[in-house]
Structure 1
Amino acid sequence: MGHRDEGGTGVGDAGAAGASARLQKLFEGHRLTPTQRRIAHCMVRRAADAPFLSSVELAELAGVSQPSVTRFAVALGFDGYPALRKHLREVAPPERAEGAEAYTEYQQAVQAEIENLRHLAAALADPGPVERAGRILAASRPLPVLGLRAASAQARGFAYFAAKVHPDVRLLDEGGTMLADRIDAARRAGATALLCFALPRHPREVVDALGHARDAGLNVVTVADSAFAPVAALSDVLLPAAVGTGLAFDTACAPMMLGRVLLESMCDALPDAQSRLEDFDAQATARGLFVE
């Protein structure tokens, strides 16, 4: 599998130079198109990150399309980009700073997630999209929150906390023929927006559900793994946060964090959010709800 993002992985200058040399050697002897040479140049320039970049991320960094990255990998003799990335990890495993021993596979996955979070932090330097999304969600009564399969945990976590400050949150974490009915019911009850968490692999039901929501007149806010996700065209506000792919199953630390940031933005747009939280705390104390 593989991973992720911008920023270093703790490789020192000597390690980075060695990684660049190995990449240049890999590209030698291949007839590359101008676009492919652009990708190769980007990978050499970002040699420390190359084993962790997804095809989408590499395409963004190089300023090319994602299919161009796939064709580039094939031109080098690999079955596809995942095979190229696997090869890079095998021949040039990331090293600790100052030449210490290589990271373990588990450490690589954690380091990749740290880089995902750093990338998210950089994106949040412009708070405009999240603030706009928060206002859209705060104004919707009720507020349906959609997340199926891999994204169901993200949707459920958001809905759990959102219900403490929002008067009517409706979790949609099961697909099937009733999903469209539940979206229609929310719309009839006054909903003006729908929040969706969309993570790979993207279920067709989610794409269909967002199309239905748009047709019903709902504004769609989506937290997705990439700006190129299949749900992008169906989202009025798309908030991307990359997933980790270094383990057998994807990790979603950055999407979870983005969900909490979005929740904070929604709270800022709800004038009675603080009073609702205080009421909950008072009731929880009276009921002895928590052991602290």
Structure 2
Amino acid sequence: MHKQNDLIKRINEKYPKLSKGQKLLANYILKNYEKAVFLTAAKLGSIVGVSESTVVRFANELGYDGYPKLQRALQELVKTKLTSVQRMEVTSGRIDQEHVLKSVLQTDAEKIKHTLEDIDEEVFDEAVNMIIDADKIYILGVRSCASLAGFLGFYMNLIFDNVKLIHTNSVSEMFEQIHRIGPDDVVIGISYPRYSKRTIKAMEFARSRNANLIAVTDSALSPITQYADLSLLAASDMASFVDSLVAPLSLINALIVSLSLKKKDKIKKSLEDLERIWKEYDVYDDDELEIYPSKKGF
């Protein structure tokens, strides 16, 4: 059995010597490993635009005794995902280090494009209705996903009065915050590689209490999808030390906009009340503050 980083290591080592067609295969596997793992040699070749024999030669070039052995290495990669060090190795091997800004922006743009192509609008609409019908809404995301959960929680609190944002570094505290969850509640669990065990355990617990579960994650193979009633998939970038959360943030934006349109009468009143409060307590910096001194008196 190959180590979980063996396939990536082999691709990076062999990449400069690969043929043009083999490089296309290498790039596709690195960017779409969760899809490639299910493909036959013929199907993979068809998607990339090369022959089946090129796929077999590619496997041999990497040191695997045939395509099935390469596929098994892919299965191990999907099971375990990548460590931060391995992701850094992939980043350094794939990115144009003389044009980092453009390379990263282009990669992020591609993630949104792929998400747009693959998203299931019917599932999205079901998720919106599930949230609207919920007695209480729990939002869960830890580590790098805490920023997504916090963003969603901030705007959801402007729309609903039954939102609970779960943010903790302790497994015990997490269960303390969700122990009252029931079948009329909904949990929005956000999880991206490397998947947090805390999020998985919380989703498992919520499933045992018959709550309604929505997963926001990167793949149908994500461990939280096994507990979810609905899965909203937005592409991330496994080949990077820094998690690419642009596509999931865009998906969350769409979720917020859709919910606000459904509840526009209520949100209008809430925002009018908040505007009065913000003004009364001087929350925002309006034009009254003169940042630059005028020439008067000089």
Give the residue type in structure 2 aligned to 1:265. Answer: S
CA deviation string 1:213-260 (max 9, x = no partner): 011111001110212111111111100111124542212111111111
- The Cα shift of 1:147 comes to 0.7
**Which residue of 2 is the match for residue 218 of structure 1?**
211
CA deviation string 1:185-240 (max 9, x = no partner): 243xx852111111111122211111110111110011102121111111111001
Indicate which of 19, 36, 50 corresponds to 1:22. Answer: 19
Higher RCO by CA contacts (8 Å cutoff, separation 6 or greater): 1
SS of 1:194 mapped into structure 2: strand
SS of 1:140 mapped into structure 2: coil
SS of 1:280 mapped into structure 2: helix
**Which residue of 1 is the match for residue 176 of structure 2?**
181
**Which residue of 1 is the match for residue 49 of structure 2?**
none
**Which residue of 2 is the match for residue 157 of structure 1?**
151
**Which residue of 2 is the match for residue 133 of structure 1?**
127
SS of 2:260 mapped into structure 1: helix
**Which residue of 1 is the match for residue 253 of structure 2?**
260
Check if 1:166 corresponds to 2:156: no
Indicate which of 169, 186, 203 corresponds to 1:193. Answer: 186
5+ unaligned residues in a row in structure 1: which ranges? 2-18, 28-42, 95-101
- The Cα shift of 1:282 comes to 3.0
Q: Please tell me the root mean square deviation across aligned C-alpha atoms, in Å.
A: 3.5
Indicate which of 101, 118, 124 corresponds to 1:123. Answer: 118
Check if 1:231 corresponds to 2:228: no
SS of 1:235 mapped into structure 2: coil
- The Cα shift of 1:73 comes to 5.6
**Which residue of 1 is the match for residue 33 of structure 2?**
55
Determine if contact 2:124/2:232 at 8 Å carries over to the other structure: yes
**Which residue of 2 is the match for residue 148 of structure 1?**
142
Determine if contact 2:95/2:103 at 8 Å carries over to the other structure: no
Structure 2 CA distance for partners of 1:191 and 1:179, relative to 1, 3 Å: farther
Aligned residues: 236
Percent identity between matched residues is: 18
Determine if contact 1:165/1:274 at 8 Å carries over to the other structure: no
* Cα distance in 2 for residues equivalent to 1:231 and 1:186: 17
Give the residue type in structure 2 aligned to 1:285. Answer: K
Please give the TM-score of this superposition, normalised by the length of structure 2: 0.67
**Which residue of 2 is the match for residue 277 of structure 1?**
271
**Which residue of 1 is the match for residue 291 of structure 2?**
none
Determine if contact 1:221/1:236 at 8 Å carries over to the other structure: yes
**Which residue of 2 is the match for residue 110 of structure 1?**
105
SS of 1:163 mapped into structure 2: helix
Determine if contact 1:109/1:246 at 8 Å carries over to the other structure: no
Give the residue type in structure 1 aligned to 2:63. Answer: G
Determine if contact 1:143/1:195 at 8 Å carries over to the other structure: yes
Structure 2 CA distance for partners of 1:107 and 1:288, relative to 1, 3 Å: same
* Cα distance in 2 for residues equivalent to 1:87 and 1:132: 37
Check if 1:76 corresponds to 2:76: no
Give the residue type in structure 1 aligned to 2:20. Answer: L
Determine if contact 1:148/1:203 at 8 Å carries over to the other structure: yes
- The Cα shift of 1:112 comes to 1.0
Deviates more, 1:262-271 or 1:156-165: 262-271
- The Cα shift of 1:267 comes to 2.2
Give the residue type in structure 2 aligned to 1:143. Answer: I
* Cα distance in 1 for residues equivalent to 2:38 and 2:103: 22
Indicate which of 241, 244, 248 corresponds to 1:251. Answer: 244
- The Cα shift of 1:76 comes to 2.1
* Cα distance in 2 for residues equivalent to 1:263 and 1:131: 12
Structure 2 CA distance for partners of 1:56 and 1:226, relative to 1, 3 Å: same
**Which residue of 2 is the match for residue 30 of structure 1?**
none
Structure 2 CA distance for partners of 1:165 and 1:88, relative to 1, 3 Å: closer
5+ unaligned residues in a row in structure 2: which ranges? 6-15, 45-54, 65-69, 78-85, 287-298
